[in-house]
Amino acid sequence: MDSFGIGLSGLSAAQKAFEIIGNNIANAATDGYHRQEINLSPAFSSQIGPVLLGGGVDVASIPRMIDGLLQKEMFKQYSLSEQVSQELATLQMVENAFGELSGRTGLSTAIDEFFNALQDLSAHPAEAIWQSQAVTAAETMTSQFRTMGDFLTSLETQIRLEAEHTVEEINALVVRIADLNDTIKRHEIGGGQANNLRDQRDQAITELAKLISVETQSREYGVVDVSVTGIPVVTSTSAFQLEVGLREDLDLGIGVAGDSNYNITVSGGRLGALLSLKNDLLSDIHSDLDSLANVIIQQVNDYHVQGVGSEGSFTSLAGWSMSSETLADFDPPVSDGNIYIRVTDTSTGEITRTAVSVDASTDTLSSIAADITAITGVSASVSDSKLHIQADAGYEFDFLPAVLPLPTDSDFTGATSPPTVSVSVIYTGTTNQTFTFTVSGTDSIGNGSLQLTVTDGDGNTVTTFNIGSGYAAGDTLDLGNGIRIALGAGDMVNNNTFEVDAFADTDTSGVLTAAGINTFFLGDNASEMSVNSDILATPGRIAASLGADMTDNANALRMEALRNEAVSDLDSMTPGEYYRRLTSDIGQRVAIRQIHQDNIEAMVQSIDTQQNEVSGVDINDEAARLLVFEQMFKAMAKYLTTLQSSLAAVMDIM
C-alpha cells in the first residue's frame, strides 16, 4: 500500500500546484498580490534495517514571495509621494491664483496703480477727476486684496474639510486591517495559510500609507500592528479611531477620537500634506499677504488722519466699531502720547490747537471722548463702541499739523510796541518740536544789530537771523525745515522770546488710526481691507493737504512716497519688494516640490520594479511551471495504473 500512498501524494501535490499556479495567473493584474510558490519535500514512510524508504512527497509550505524590508520602503515612498503631490497641486493652484504670470492683472499691478494715482493726485490735489481716479485705484487694490484673502481663507477651510474626509478614510482602513488581522489569526491558528487574506491586509496598509505615514510590526499568526505618527491604530485585532481638530493656536492636528489632544507633527501621505499646508505653507502665505495689507492700511491711514481734502475741515467724524473700549486691548496697539486737535471758529477765523493726553494703559474711548468734549467748539461720545467727534455750531475741526499763524507763546516784556509775528509752514521735520526764538539786542525791527537765535526743543541752535539793519519788516525768514516767519514793524528788547510748535505727527498715540477716525482704508487684513465709505461717497475727502490753506499736496506726496519706504514689519522691504518676494517664494516652493516629486517618482518606480521582480506574476514562468506539474500528474497517474495492473496480475496468479 506504500506504493499507492506514494502515487496519491504525487497526485495531491500536483493538484495543489495547479491550484497555486492558477491562483497566481488569475491575480496577475491584482494590485497588492504577491506570487505564491509550492515547496515540496520528500515524505518519510518507514525504515527497513538501515534503509529509509521514501513515502512520496509532502507539501512543505506555500509561501508568499515577499521582501519585508522592500515592503516597508514601499510604504514610506508611497507616503512621501502622496504628500509631495498634494502639496505641489495646492501650491500650483495658489500660484495661479496670484496671477503673476498672467500679464498686467495681478495684485502687484493694482498696488502700483494705487500709488501712481496718489502721485497724479499730488499734481492736481483739488480736481475731482484725479480724486475719483485715486478712489477707483484704491477700490481695485482693496478688491484684489480681498479676493486673494478670501481665496486663501476658502482654501484653508476646504483643506480642513478634506482633512476630516481623509481621517474618515483612514478610520475605515484601520477597521478593515483589524478585521483582516482577526480573520487571518483565526485561520492560521487552525493550521491554515491565509496568503490571499494577508495580501488584502497588506494592500489596505499600502492604501493607508498613501493617506499618512505608517509603521508596522509583525506578530505571530500573521497579525500586523499598525501605528501612524506614533499613535497605535491597530493592535492585534483591535482598531482605534482618529479625529481632526484645532489646537488653541488654530493649528490643525489629529488625535485619538475623544481625546482632544491633537498632534500637529504629522508627516506623509495626503493627510500630512493637508496639515502641512494648513499649518505652515498656506498659513505663511496668508500671514505675509495680511502683513502687506496691514502695513499699507496702517501707513496710509497714519498719514491720512492728519490731513484734509478739498472738502476742508470737519463738522463730524465717526470711527469704526471696536471690540473693546479699553485702549490697552487695541490691535494694532496704541502708545502713550497726544492727539492734537485744531478747532476753527468759522465766524472769526480764530484757530486753536489743543493736546489730548493719552495713557495707553488706563484710558478708554470714553475717557478720550470726555477729554475732547472739554475743548471749546467740539464734543465727542462713544456709541456702538465707535468714537464720534462733533463740532459745535459755528466751528470746524481737523488734525492738521500746520503751524498756527501766530506764535504758540511769546514774552515781549519791555517792548513798547512789539512787532506782529506771522508764521507759515508745512513742517518737513520728522519729529514734533517746539522752536524758541530769542532776541539779541534792543532796537526796532530793521535797525541796529538785532538778531534772532532759533533753538529746538533740545536746546540746539538751529540758525540765527539778522532782523536789524538790512532786514525789512515783513520779509520772510526760512528755517530750512518748512517753517517761515515774518516780523512786522515794532521794537524788540534783548532776551525777548516767542515759541512756535511744529508737528510732524498730530497723533503720537495712534488712537485716531486705531479707532478709524478720518482713515482712508478700513480693516486690518487682506480679507477685510476696503476703502472708507466717506471717501467713496465724497472723493474730495481724500486728505491730500497738510497746510493751513488746505490747497497743498504735501499729504498726497507723503502717502505716495510710502511705495518706496522700507518697513520693518515687511522685513525692511518696500511693499512692492515684499509682494514680489511673496510671489517668488510661492514659485520657489512649487519648483522645489516639482523636483522632489520627480525624484520620488523615480524612487517609487524603482521600488515597484524590484517588488515586481520578487512578488510579481510572470505568465510565461507560470505556464512553464504548469507544464512541469502537468507531466508530474500524468506520470503519477501512469504509475498508479501500472501498480493496479501489477496487483491484478498477481491476484490472477494466486
Taking only the tens place, the pLDDT of each residue in 205-225 is 999 999 999 999 999 998 999
Q: In the chain, what percentage of residues exceed pLDDT 70? A: 97
Per DSSP, what are the bridge partners of residue 235? 238
pLDDT at residue 427 above 70? yes
Euclidean distance between CA atoms 184 and 181, whole angstroms: 5
Taking only the tens place, the pLDDT of each residue in 468-524 is 999 999 999 999 998 999 999 999 999 999 999 999 999 999 999 999 999 999 999
Grid cell at residue 361? 494703559
Q: In the chain, what percentage of residues exceed pLDDT 90? A: 65
For the chain, give the mean pLDDT.
90
Average pLDDT over residues 106-132: 93
pTM of the entire structure?
A: 0.84
For residues 382 and 436, is the Cβ–Cβ distance under 8 A?
Answer: no
pLDDT at residue 300 above 70? yes
Euclidean distance between CA atoms 635 and 645, whole angstroms: 15
pLDDT of residue 83: 92
Confidence category of residue 642, pLDDT binned at 50, 70, 90:
confident
pLDDT of residue 103: 47
User: Quick one: how far is CA 210 from the chain centroid?
Assistant: 26
DSSP 332: S
Per DSSP, what are the bridge partners of residue 522? 530
Q: How far apart are the first and last CA of the chain?
A: 18
Q: Which of 98-107, 280-289, 293-302, 420-429 has the lowest mean pLDDT?
A: 98-107
Confidence category of residue 614, pLDDT binned at 50, 70, 90:
confident
Euclidean distance between CA atoms 341 and 380, whole angstroms: 12
Taking only the tens place, the pLDDT of each residue in 525-583 is 999 999 999 999 999 999 999 998 899 999 999 999 999 999 999 999 999 999 989 98
pLDDT of residue 646: 82
Q: Which of 255-264, 364-373, 573-582 has the lowest mean pLDDT?
A: 255-264
Grid cell at residue 633? 500528474
In the 3-class helix/strand/coil scheme, how is 593-623 assigned residue by residue? HHHHHHHHHHHHHHHHHHHHHHHCCCHHHHH
pLDDT at residue 47 above 70? no
Which of the pair, 68 or 393, is modelled with greater confidence?
393
For residues 427 and 408, is the Cβ–Cβ distance under 8 A?
Answer: no
Lookup result for grid cell 491597530: 234
Taking only the tens place, the pLDDT of each residue in 135-187 is 999 999 999 999 999 999 999 999 999 999 999 999 999 999 999 999 999 99
Compute, in degrees rounded to 10, the torsion defined by CA atoms 567, 569, 575, 579: 150
pLDDT of residue 52: 65
Average pLDDT over residues 311-319: 95
pLDDT at residue 102 above 80? no
Grid cell at residue 500? 512756535
For residues 53 and 548, is the Cβ–Cβ distance under 8 A?
Answer: no
Within 48-127, residue ranges assigned H as helices are 68-98, 107-123
Average pLDDT over residues 447-466: 94
Taking only the tens place, the pLDDT of each residue in 371-390 is 999 999 999 999 989 999 99
Average pLDDT over residues 309-324: 94
Sequence-distant (6+) residues with CB within 8 A of 342 are 313, 351, 352, 353, 397, 398, 399, 400, 402
Average pLDDT over residues 93-113: 77
